[in-house]
Amino acid sequence: MSLLTIEGVWKHYHGLSVLRGIDLEVAPHEVVCLIGASGSGKSTLLRCVNLLETIDDGAIHLDGVEITDVRADADDVRRRIGMVFQAYNLFPHMTVLDNITLAPRKVHGVRPEEAEARARELLDRFGLADKAGEYPDRLSGGQQQRVAVIRAVATDPRLLLLDEVTSALDPTLVTEVLGVIRELKETGMTMILATHEMGFARDIADTVCFLEGGVLLESGPPEQIFSAPEHPRTRAFLQRVLEARRM
Amino acid sequence: MTDGQSAGSPVPTGDAERAEPVWVKSERQLRREAELRARGRRSVSVATASTIVVMVALVAGITSSPGWPRVQELFFSPQAFVDALPDVLRGFLLNIKIFLIAEVFILVVGLLVALVRGLRSPVFFPLRALAVLYTDVFRGIPTILLIYLVGFGIPALQLQGTPSDPVTLGIIALVLSYGAYVAEVFRAGIESVHPSQRAAARSLALSHGQTMRHVVLPQAVRRVAPPLLNDFVSLQKDSALVSVLGPLEALRQAQIHVASSFNYTPYLVAALLFIGLTVPLARFTDHLATRIARRQTGGGTA
């Protein structure tokens, strides 16, 4: 059974259709990469899954239960989904450790010592052990984003959503964040990534989905999408990406 | 080791020095700094000179006015100053008490009203409407008018348990008036926290209340600390308005002395006491504001 099912999801902003009937299934331990130009609806789709946006039609099921039911408890849904944002969105008034342990302590009822031990273990694993007591603005962008990923996985979510997590980073810092994501894949984390890093998507994704104008035009294994895309729009998009890289 | 190398030439450290650039101030930089120092000295002397000129003109202008001897006697009498000081100072302690007590309640009322206005659930609609009504009404009434209304209106109700002590009534009026202002300051602070912070907190499954308590409010309060302190500077002097209800605070004491001696110097005493209290707080507010500004430009995350 799939972990997440998105069926016929529509979303409008001010009369503009941002998502136009999106269908997508995500199996447990699967890594799905959403690619497409800015404004194609990737981020909006992730925000809809996390109920940060309400959808205008269709349904989203998590573990076989509809989470877009208006009677569903949004907090309960979010307890099972982690999210990492493009601009990190760490809490600037809290130390790295407090950023990570806030949700486990306040939402999941984990005892403070346990939450701290788990946070330190994660920081250690991702090479940030010495940053536990620092405030976010003392860290580099790459370090901040790694902390944000740790914060999102510290509550052991069923599903992790990553919204263009390397777009705000300079190229030398991108690899360290991608390394963390690669390691999460090895632990079997189910993930949906909106990304502009085509090389990384090809490398890590089980399924790549190409979105354009709010429509999921094509999806399939990375070899197929990147080497033999069926849809002419996908080909055109990949061609543009390739040209941009050659500049 | 050969003789040639033993002459004290530190070969390895010499290498290290060549690798690391060492800064020796250049002629150009020394000249530049000398010029900047000279300019600094020049601006200090210009500022001193112009200050002296302005002060002399002011003092000369005032003291040469035809009524000055009369004003000097009425407002600057050393004898009247010394006579009034103990009573006015005693009254001033009551001002301090009034504004300290009022301040605590104002913070509580302001924060509660701001939080109520942020509630979304339809259950809270009446509360939300009340909060809006409260800020609209009490920001619109002049503080002195409010003090009259509360001070004479509440006792006139003759209800059991309502306070009749003028100090308490004055504090209630100040809390009602300033609470409305402070609520707006808090609300502005809450709204100034970037929506992405809320999104991050909600994505971690924190409830609305938890998001407010742990993520939004701590950042909002830090941001509004300078404007809040500014409101309290204003509250300190407005504590004198309570004098219209009769308690023997600084202004009232000064009035009594003026009435018996026909000399206005006691007012000057009261004014100096208020300045003595507000200036340090105002300086502290400035200091806090610059520190926050520095922290925010030092690199913040949205």
- Per residue, what are the HEC states of B132-191? HHHHHHHHHCCHHHHHHHHHHHHHHHCCCCCCCCHHHHHHHHHHHHHHHHHHHHHHHHHH
A90 CB within 8 Å of a chain B CB: yes
Q: Do the chains contact at A151 and B204, CB–CB below 8 Å?
A: yes
Contacts of B203 in chain A (CB under 8 A): 50, 52, 78, 81-83, 85, 152
A91/A105 Cα distance (integer angstroms):
15
- Both tokens of residue B28? 């150009």
Asked if the C-beta of A76 comes within 8 angstroms of chain B's C-beta atoms, the answer is: yes
Residue B121: C-alpha distances to residues A179, B118, B191 (Å): 43, 10, 18
With CA atoms as reference, the chain B residue closest to A144 would be B301
Beta carbons of A137 and B207 less than 8 Å apart: no
Query: From the list A76, A92, A151, which residue is nearest B301 (CB)?
Result: A92
Cut 0.90: pTM above it:
no
Q: Do B200 and A89 touch (CB under 8 A)?
A: yes
Q: ipTM of this complex > 0.95?
A: no
The per-residue DSSP string of A5-59 comes to EEEEEEEEETTEEEEEEEEEEE-TT-EEEEE--TTSSHHHHHHHHTTSS--SEEE
pLDDT tens digit sequence for A157-214: 999 999 999 988 888 888 889 999 999 999 999 999 999 989 899 989 999 999 999 9
Residue of A nearest to B203 (CA): A78
Decide if A87 and B199 are in contact by the 8 Å CB cutoff.
Answer: no
How many CB pairs lie under 8 A apart between chains A and B?
71
Residue with tokens 């509580």: B108
Among chain B residues, the shortest Cα distance to A145 is held by B301
B189 to chain A: which residues are within 8 Å by CB?
Answer: none
Q: Is B195 in the A-facing interface, judged by CB distances under 8 Å?
A: no
Q: Give the pLDDT confidence of B235-280 residue by residue, as tens digits.
A: 988 999 988 888 888 888 899 989 988 899 999 999 999 999 888 8
* CATH classification code of B77-297: 1.10.3720.10
The answer to whether the Cβ–Cβ distance between A136 and B301 falls below 8 Å is yes
pLDDT tens-place values along chain A, 247 residues long: 799 999 999 999 988 899 999 999 999 999 999 999 988 999 999 999 999 999 999 999 999 999 999 899 999 999 999 999 999 999 999 999 999 999 999 999 999 999 999 999 999 999 999 999 999 999 999 999 999 999 999 999 999 999 999 988 888 888 889 999 999 999 999 999 999 989 899 989 999 999 999 999 999 999 999 999 999 999 999 999 888 887 7
Quote the tokens at residue B265.
């110097």
Per DSSP, A213 falls in state T
pLDDT tens for each residue of B145-169 = 999 999 998 888 888 888 888 999 9
The CATH code that applies to domain A4-90+159-246 is 3.40.50.300
pLDDT of residue B143: 92
Per domain, the residue ranges of chain B are: 23-63, 77-297
Q: Note the pLDDT tens digit of each residue in B66-95.
A: 999 998 888 998 888 998 899 999 999 999
Cα nearest neighbour of B223 on chain A: A93
* B230: contact with A, CB 8 A cutoff: no
Chain B residues touching residue A93 (CB < 8 angstroms): 218-219, 222
Q: Would strands A16-26 and A4-13 be described as parallel, antiparallel, or unpaired?
A: antiparallel
A68 touches B at CB < 8 Å: no
Q: Does B206 touch chain A (CB under 8 A)?
A: yes
Helices (DSSP H) in chain A: which residue ranges? 42-49, 74-79, 96-106, 112-125, 141-153, 171-186, 198-204, 222-227, 232-246
Can you tell me the distance from the alpha carbon of A51 to that of A49, in angstroms, rounded to the nearest whole number? 5
Distance in angstroms (rounded) separating the CA atoms of residues A221 and B206 = 36
Mutation to test the B interface, candidates A81, A85, A100, A106, most B Cβ within 10 Å: A106
Q: Could you please report the per-residue DSSP string of chain B?
A: --TGGGSS--HHHHHHHHHS------HHHHHHHHHHHHHHHHHHHHHHHHHHHHHHHHHHHHHTSTTHHHHHHHH--HHHHHHHHHHHHHHHHHHHHHHHHHHHHHHHHHHHHHHHHT---GGGHHHHHHHHHHHHHHHHS-HHHHHHHHHHHHHHH--TT----HHHHHHHHHHHHHHHHHHHHHHHHHHHS-HHHHHHHHHTT--HHHIIIIIIHHHHHHHHHHHHHHHHHHHHHHGGGGGGG----HHHHHHHHHHHH---HHHHHHHHHHHHHHHHHHHHHHHHHHHHHHHHHT----
Average predicted confidence (pLDDT) for chain B: 87
